[in-house]
Amino acid sequence: MTNNIYDEKQLATIVFKTCYGYSCDNINFTRLESASPNINWLVQNNDYAFVLRKCMINNNQDYFNYLEQIIDLLNSYGIPVPQLIMAKDGQKEVYCEGNWWQLRLYIDGRPYKTSDISDALETAKLLCKLHTIPVSNIETIHFIHDPYYWLLNPDKEIENLEYFLKTNRKDKDEVIKKYKLLVKDALKYIDIERYNILNRSIIHGDFHGNNLVFVNNSISGLLDFDFISVNARIIDVAQSVYLMARKQRGSFVLDKNIILKYLEIYNECHKLSHLEYHAMIPLLQLRLLPRSEYLVELDKKAPHLLNWQLEWSLNAASHAREQLIEAIKIASETNICT
């Protein structure tokens, strides 16, 4: 694995030329900033613009086969997904220079506007559309952040986390204490049996403003499918409403009006059940807590993100209940649920 931006840029240039067959003359490579361990390059000249991704999270062919099946389905239902560019060998993903890579069209536009109710409601409409797609022929898989793992064996997950943190954090005892309190709180409201009977759909798994592109007031692109799967739809609903309703980036103080309008729009399309409302906060808490399996990979592939990821996640999970509880109670009483 390369360790500096010069090496990574050289590597991206080799992949773009060798695996995709493009000339690198008069091409600009600009690294796109991200909180993900994936490495993304904006590759452009006067004629075209692509994003070249070095895949660092899901780095195996089985996942890409699953992803292609879902992406094709999303395209057929009008979800604005960027087109993947075929490599010279005719594949949508290529293994080159020790990693899997993807090349897609670059979607120009503006980012999501935090605390803007119009943008928030557009995202709710897109989520409704995504969750409408039939999934009978797609298997359920458990993505790396799936709350399923915490529900299945919480003690084992904590044990694995303790083993990882003992060599990575001086304050591991404090981190573990916070994890245990959050997991304990979540497990008071949801268990594996109730989780397994929740309504299933295609879920994006990381549905927030950084993965959306807007043109004017409409969404022109949904990005980043590292955690897409068929799973409990309420995971998407909980995470998206929590992150879309923030009053400002970096904060977990929410706008209650946006939460209520977001859930109202969603309920007009998909009526949430009592169980789904009940599960929103605990599943969000568990979804936000990174498991040791992910932290190990993050430490290997993007160690500079490790401390930030832990601190952001614990902060986010710690504020979820206090920020959502009142609005969810109002929404569940207002929107007659099944």
Could you read off the pLDDT of 179-232 as tens digits, one per residue?
999 999 999 999 999 999 999 999 999 999 999 999 999 999 999 999 999 999
Query: What is the structure's pLDDT at 57?
Result: 84
User: For domain 5-105, which architecture applies?
Assistant: 2-Layer Sandwich (3.30)
Query: What is the structure's pLDDT at 1?
Result: 47
* Contacts within 8 Å (CB) and 24+ apart, 37-44: 37/297, 37/298, 37/301, 37/302, 37/305, 38/226, 39/8, 39/12, 41/9, 41/12, 42/106, 43/12, 43/16, 43/103, 44/106
Mean pLDDT within 262-289? 97
Query: What is the structure's pLDDT at 27?
Result: 95
Mean pLDDT within 71-84? 95
Query: What is the structure's pLDDT at 76?
Result: 95
**In terms of pLDDT, which residue wins out, 62 or 324?**
324
Strand partners, 96: 99
Strand partners, 86: none
Q: How far apart are the first and last CA of the chain?
A: 51
Three-state helix/strand/coil letters over the chain: CCCCHHHHHHHHHHHHHHCCCCCCCCCEEEEECCCCCCEEEEEECCCCEEEEEEECCCCCHHHHHHHHHHHHHHHHCCCCCCCECCCCCCCCEEEECCEEEEEEECCCCECCCCCCHHHHHHHHHHHHHHHHCCCCCCCCCCCCCCCHHHHHCHHHHHHHHHHHHCCCCCCHHHHHHHHHHHHHHHHCCCCHHHHHCCCEEEECCCCCHHHEEEECCEEEEECCCCCCEEEEHHHHHHHHHHHHCECCCCCCCECHHHHHHHHHHHHHHCCCCHHHHHHHHHHHHHHHCCCHHHHHHHHHHCHHHHHHHHHHHHHHHHHHHHHHHHHHHHHHHHCCCC
**Residue range(s) in the chain whose domain bears CATH number 3.90.1200.10:** 117-334
Tell me: pLDDT of 115 over 60.
yes
Residues 6+ apart with CB under 8 A from 179: 158, 161, 289, 314
**Residue range(s) in the chain whose domain bears CATH number 3.30.200.20:** 5-105
Mean pLDDT of the chain: 94
Tell me: pLDDT of 145 over 70.
yes
With pLDDT > 70 as the criterion, what percentage of the chain qualifies?
97
Tell me: pLDDT of 335 over 80.
no
Tell me: pLDDT of 50 over 80.
yes
Whole-angstrom distance, CA of residue 206 vs CA of residue 214: 17
Residues 6+ apart with CB under 8 A from 170: none
Query: What is the structure's pLDDT at 96?
Result: 83
User: Could you identify the residue written with the tokens 């240039």?
Assistant: 13
CATH label, 117-334, candidates 3.30.9.10, 3.90.1200.10, 3.40.50.720, 3.40.50.150: 3.90.1200.10
Query: Which amino acid is it at 246?
Result: R
**Burial label, 40 (beta-carbon count in 10 A; 0-12, 13-18, 19+):** buried
Whole-angstrom distance, CA of residue 302 vs CA of residue 326: 37
Query: What is the structure's pLDDT at 188?
Result: 98
